[in-house]
Amino acid sequence: MNGEKSPALLVEAKRARETKIESIFLPHASRQRDKIYESGKNLTARFVHYTSAEAAIKIINQKRLWLRNAACMTDYREVQHGFSILHKFFSDNSKTNRFVSAVNNFAPGAVEEAVKNFDEWWKLGTIQFKTFIASVSEHDFEEDYHGRLSMWRAFGGTSTRVGLVFNIPWHSDAGDHLKLSFSPVSYFKDNEAEQFMFEVVGNIEANLDFLKTLERWEVIRWIFTMLLLGVTCVKHEGFREEKEWRAVHCPQISTSPLMKPSTEIIGGVPQIVYQLPLDKSIDPILSDLDFAKIFDRIIIGPSPYPITMFDAYLEALSNAGVPDAGSKIFISGIPIRS
């Protein structure tokens, strides 16, 4: 034995390090992740993607999840709301000085450089108009057969909706290769965002010895990520019951050859989407995100044609390699009009 750590131990050490850094700079996300994954005791957690019946067939057949432009999301103030909250905090020197001073203890000038990078991308319109998002919600066992009433209502309209439930892993090496951030949405009020920033400062002050082991570029990257997720994963408090998480991709900032753009028509609006591959045949790195592996169930929302849809999804899921597909299709019994 030469004393070198095995590859598995090195991977575990890397994950533990990343988890600790997240707990310092993104404490809200860290708490939510620990809660739903029970601090890693659960290797996967269940999330549901509510979408149209037509889009669900495409997701299954293509083994692709679409990430839509943030400018096309349901909340018409998407991204701008988060930016307004962060801008208010960073415009007050009396509040930001403590944050800057804390970081300067181990990475002088890192805050200024991260903020400068963020501002440049913001002024170019990249963050607010070239960021792509896929939304899922935490899925409770009580919702296994009927789904969530508020989500059927929120995403109603003329087409039948369905819920695709996935078992998403706690850690996935694919995330780095896909250039994705997977984060819970924060439903902050202005004062809560301020409390969050002061919590980050406290975390930094309490972990100086550890933070001194980081490379300066890592610190800048994490502060930039904190700002990016601060605008892309913050929504008005009125959306709190959605319990939303987001996969966020900024192709102009960080490109992945695995993420392919395509032009699709959604709700009559032609738009560019980025396709998140859920197919291990494309690249072995995607094995823990392969559709057949992570698929849990599909819930068909209120519809006048549930049996016809059942048959269609049964064929699609079977062709996608989902074992015993018929037992994983459920028809919501909530008595509301489609």
Q: What confidence score (pLDDT) does residue 3 get?
A: 59
| 221 located within any domain | yes
Which residues, 6 or more positions from 90, have their beta carbon under 8 angstroms from its beta carbon?
96, 115
Using the structure block, give the residue that is written with the tokens 């015993």. Answer: 324
Q: How far apart are CA 154 and CA 144, in angstroms?
A: 18
Q: For residue 242, tell me if it sits in a domain.
A: yes
Name the residue type at position 192.
E
CA–CA gap between residue 311 and residue 222 (Å, rounded):
47
Q: Is residue 300 part of a domain?
A: no
Q: Which domain holds residue 251?
A: 7-47+65-140+170-286
CB 22 within 8 A of CB 29: yes
Cβ atoms of residues 237 and 188 within 8 Å: yes
CA 107 to chain centre: 28
What does pTM read for this prediction?
0.91
Beta strands 64-69; 269-277: pairing state: antiparallel
Domain assignment present for 157: no
Residues ≥6 apart with Cβ < 8 Å to 179 = 249, 250, 251, 254, 255, 256, 259
Tokens of residue 289, six digits: 């995100």
Tell me, what's the pLDDT at 11? Answer: 75
Q: Supply 336's token pair.
A: 């509301």
SS3 212: coil
Q: Pick from 62, 57, 46: which is nearest to 245 by CA?
A: 46
Taking a C-beta distance cutoff of 8 angstroms, is the pair 151, 201 a contact?
A: no
141: helix, strand or coil = helix
Structure tokens that stand for 267 in this block:
């709700």
Question: Residues near 43 by Cβ (< 8 Å), separated by ≥ 6?
Answer: 37, 169, 170
Considering the domain boundaries, does residue 200 fall inside one? yes
Place of tokens 């987001």: 246
Asked, for residue 160, whether it belongs to a domain, the answer is no
Number of helices (H) and strands (E), helices first, in the chain? Answer: 14, 10
Per-residue pLDDT, 1: 47
C-alpha span between 230 and 274 (Å, rounded): 21
What pLDDT is attached to residue 173?
A: 87
Distances (CA, A) of 216 to 56, 213, 249, 264: 43, 9, 23, 41
pLDDT tens sequence for the chain (338 residues)? 455 667 777 778 888 899 999 999 999 999 999 999 998 889 999 999 999 999 999 999 999 999 999 888 766 466 787 888 888 888 888 888 999 999 999 999 999 999 999 999 999 999 989 999 999 999 999 999 999 988 887 765 567 899 999 999 998 889 999 999 999 998 877 677 788 889 999 999 999 999 999 999 999 999 999 999 989 998 878 888 889 999 999 999 999 999 999 998 887 889 999 999 999 999 999 999 999 999 999 999 988 889 999 999 999 999 999 999 999 999 998 877 65
Q: Is residue 320 part of a domain?
A: no
The predicted structure's pLDDT at residue 60: 98
Task: Please give the tally of structural domains in the chain.
Answer: 1
CA 126 to chain centre: 18
Residue 213, domain member (yes or no):
yes
